Amino acid sequence: MIDIRFIRENPEIVRASQRARGADENLVAEILAADEKRRQSLQAFEDKRAEQKALSREIGKAAKEDRPAVLAKAKALSDEVKSLETASGEAAEAFNTAMYKLPNIIVAGVPSGGEDDYTVLKQVGKIRDFAAEGFTPKDHLDVAEGIDGVDMARGTKVAGSRFYYLKGIGARLELALLTAAVDQAESYGFTMLTTPTLVNPEIMGGTGFLGAHADEIYYLPADDLYLTGTSEVALAGYHKDEIIDLANGPKRYTGWSTCYRREAGSYGKDTRGIIRVHQFNKVEMFSYCDPADAVEEHQRFLAWEEEMIAKAELPYRVINTAAGDLGSSAAQKFDCEAWLPTQNRFMEVTSTSNCTTFQARRLNIRHRSEIGTTPVATLNGTLATTRWLVAMFENHQQPDGSLYIPQALRPYLGGKEVIAPVAAAK
């Protein structure tokens, strides 16, 4: 949620942000009109209630012959106050509804446009020339099945399409990757949390996930709970309704959780293998910080993501995501995309978002600053996830079907340097 005072004082900035996102800029006028009606309704209610209280004090002082008239007036005022209170509540509800439609205000430097309008900030690492090495690379699923690391058929049998089993070395490799990510986060002062993967509507809505993409979320109506698509949701809710101490700098957490996404609207996209699935595991960074430090904290998150990708020895690029592809809560988002040889494209493996005070205002998370108690800023960033295996299988495959293990992950796999293919996986 955005500070209404900012919207009143800077309506054109908000409209420009909406235009950059490809969203409805008329929403700004709707919000301002609802705000004006809310304030007028509240003032009318409070004025009439003050009049009612003043009259109440006069009832006991009224002469006996005047009391019936005074009581009748008090009754009429009471009815009027109740009516104005109802109108004030309805105006406040309409205002809040309009405010919840407004996504975060983008920061300077975010490109306008949609999914394909990003800007590339840099590209890192050498892309392998498989032709020069004398062989055609297999796609990630063929590599994974060759080392008996993934079983898609039985995953589909048990749970349906886009489900899978990680098996043997595939499961161990994921565990190694996520554990290395947690170790790195801990070395930078993050506190690890294993988070709930079910949250209530207030937390899911407070983080901004119940907007345009709510159909991506699994919902359990019998319990009125949502399955989270990222531990960002539970991490953001951790300090709900609290005043936190940032005197010693940001409070940083890393969440390890299973994540669930319906992938609604993605029919036909990346249906082979484990690129776009309904369930996966992820290690997520999260920070509560002073809003004045949010841009610098965002750069730190990006650097930590790049450090982790370097440990996986993957060629990648960093993009500045366009406004229309940010999601409602982010003011800016950087994605790291690893090279996918068999598809001749880059594939997102991490993203980090600066959500400024948008989530904290909804969740009532504050800190004590020089000007009083004010909302904090929240930031999030992926440090490792199951999808990384896709890029690792493809980029680290060898001509004989074996898989090279990056040096940084070997201590988590008993020192293994190469995983040999399995003759006949069952």
Residues serving a catalytic function are: 261, 276, 348, 351, 387
The DSSP code for 43 is H
Annotated binding site: 230-232, 261-263, 277, 284, 348-351, 382
**Residue 412: CB partners within 8 Å, gap ≥ 6?**
175, 176, 177, 179, 180
Annotated binding site for ATP: 261-263, 277, 348-351
Checking phi first, is residue 185 left (phi over 0); if not, alpha (psi -120 to 50) or beta?
alpha
Give 143-209 as a 3 state SS string. HHHHCCCEEHHHHHHHHCCCCCEECCHHHHHHHHHHHHHHHHHHHCCCEEEECCCEECHHHHHHCCC
d(CA 83, CA 79): 6
Adjacent-strand bridge partners of 385: 282
d(CA 358, CA 271): 34
d(CA 309, CA 304): 9
Contact yes or no for 77/54 (Cβ under 8 A): no
CA 126 centroid distance within chain: 31
Q: How buried is 64 (Cβ within 10 angstroms: 0-12 exposed, 13-18 middle, 19+ buried)?
A: exposed
Residue 316 is inside which H or E element, if any? strand 316-320
Annotated binding site for L-serine: 230-232, 284, 382
d(CA 336, CA 118): 12
Closest alpha carbon to 81 in 33, 109, 42, 119: 42
**Residue 344: CB partners within 8 Å, gap ≥ 6?**
none
Checking phi first, is residue 289 left (phi over 0); if not, alpha (psi -120 to 50) or beta?
beta
Q: DSSP for 354-381?
A: E-TTHHHHHHT-EEEETTEEEEPEEEEE
Closest alpha carbon to 240 in 105, 53, 366: 366
d(CA 320, CA 337): 11
Q: What is the identity of the amino acid at 1?
A: M
d(CA 104, CA 161): 34
